[in-house]
């Protein structure tokens, strides 16, 4: 066995290629000189090649595993990667909805009342255009079109309007629509005290302006007066008054 072990070591020495050429040459000559040894060397060589072949395959398998690790994404991440745009859009919608709901609930009480009760005065419903004799006038047309800024700009150029109260009223409404309550309130107060068909409407919008300014007491007073007047605003005034007194 000892001799055979030595022979195997000689074979390894030849196959290793790291020894000096002349030493390998000598070993080669010894092997080639004996048919039995040569046959055994051939057997040994194929075994060594087989071991190297298996090892090389094993290393390649390891490399393929690294590659798979590099390129594969965990299944749970895959779901998010595939649906990422959908999830991003859904998240944005949820966030905006949440903000909208939140802002509705956290905004001041008076803003909720305004949102529920305020609508700009609709010129042409209570009073027909013919009543004002202002057909074709840019001022009235601008109001009808909701161009409140233009109404304010044109207010002073209206001049001799056939219905100055209506002109003032629409001006005050335009100011209110643009949240210019300081300008709207004096005009509405003046009209509300007049003996004029627009007085109930002026009281209504005056009350709304006071609520907008968070002055509930003044608003309640005006609304109370309005409930006692015969007008289309009485019922609304009563309802708003109840809301204010909650």
Give the interface with another protein as residue ranges (CB under 8 A). 5, 8, 17-18, 31-32, 38, 41-60, 62-64, 66-67, 70
- The burial class, CB within 10 Å (0-12 / 13-18 / 19+), for 184 is buried
**Minimum distance of another protein from residue 66's CB (angstroms):** 5
Q: How far apart are CA 88 and CA 77, in angstroms?
A: 15
Q: What tokens were used for 26?
A: 């000598």
Cβ of 45: how many Cβ atoms within 10 Å? 13
Q: How far apart are CA 40 and CA 56, in angstroms?
A: 24
**Minimum distance of another protein from residue 70's CB (angstroms):** 6
Is the Cβ of residue 63 or residue 99 nearer to another protein in the bound state? 63
Is the Cβ of residue 43 or residue 182 nearer to another protein in the bound state? 43
Is the Cβ of residue 7 or residue 127 nearer to another protein in the bound state? 7
Is the Cβ of residue 38 or residue 100 nearer to another protein in the bound state? 38
**Minimum distance of another protein from residue 3's CB (angstroms):** 12
Q: How far apart are CA 177 and CA 171, in angstroms?
A: 10
Phi/psi-derived region of residue 203, left when phi > 0, alpha when psi is between -120 and 50, beta in every other case:
alpha
Q: How would you label 99-122 residue by residue, b for 16+ Cβ within 10 Å and e otherwise?
A: eeeeeeeeeeebeebeeebbeebe
Is the Cβ of residue 61 or residue 228 nearer to another protein in the bound state? 61
Is the Cβ of residue 62 or residue 232 nearer to another protein in the bound state? 62
**Minimum distance of another protein from residue 106's CB (angstroms):** 51
**Minimum distance of another protein from residue 84's CB (angstroms):** 22
Residue entry with tokens 């008054």: 241
Q: What tokens were used for 120?
A: 């700009």
**Minimum distance of another protein from residue 60's CB (angstroms):** 6
């Amino acid at each position: 066995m000892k001799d055979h072990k030595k022979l195997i070591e000689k074979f390894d020495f030849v196959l290793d290629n790291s020894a000096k050429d002349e030493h390998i040459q000598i070993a080669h000559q010894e092997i080639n000189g004996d048919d039995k040894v040569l046959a055994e060397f051939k057997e040994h060589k194929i075994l060594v090649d087989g071991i190297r072949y298996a090892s090389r395959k094993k290393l390649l398998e390891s490399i393929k595993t690294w590659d798979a690790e590099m390129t594969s994404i965990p299944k749970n991440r895959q779901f998010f990667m595939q649906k990422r745009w959908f999830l991003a859009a859904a998240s944005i919608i949820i966030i905006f909805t949440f903000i909208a709901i939140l802002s509705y609930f956290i905004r001041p009480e008076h803003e909720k009342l305004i949102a529920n009760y305020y609508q700009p005065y609709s010129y042409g419903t209570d009073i027909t255009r013919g009543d004002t004799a202002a057909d074709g006038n840019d001022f009235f047309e601008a109001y009808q079109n909701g161009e409140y800024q233009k109404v304010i700009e044109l207010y002073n150029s209206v001049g001799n309007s056939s219905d100055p109260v209506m002109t003032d009223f629409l001006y005050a409404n335009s100011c209110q629509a643009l949240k210019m309550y300081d300008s709207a309130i004096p005009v509405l107060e003046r009209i509300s005290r007049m003996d004029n068909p627009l007085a109930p409407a002026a009281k209504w919008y005056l009350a709304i302006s006071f609520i907008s300014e968070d002055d509930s007491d003044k608003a309640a007073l005006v609304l109370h007066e309005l409930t006692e007047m015969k007008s289309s605003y009485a019922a609304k005034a009563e309802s708003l008054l109840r809301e204010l007194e909650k």
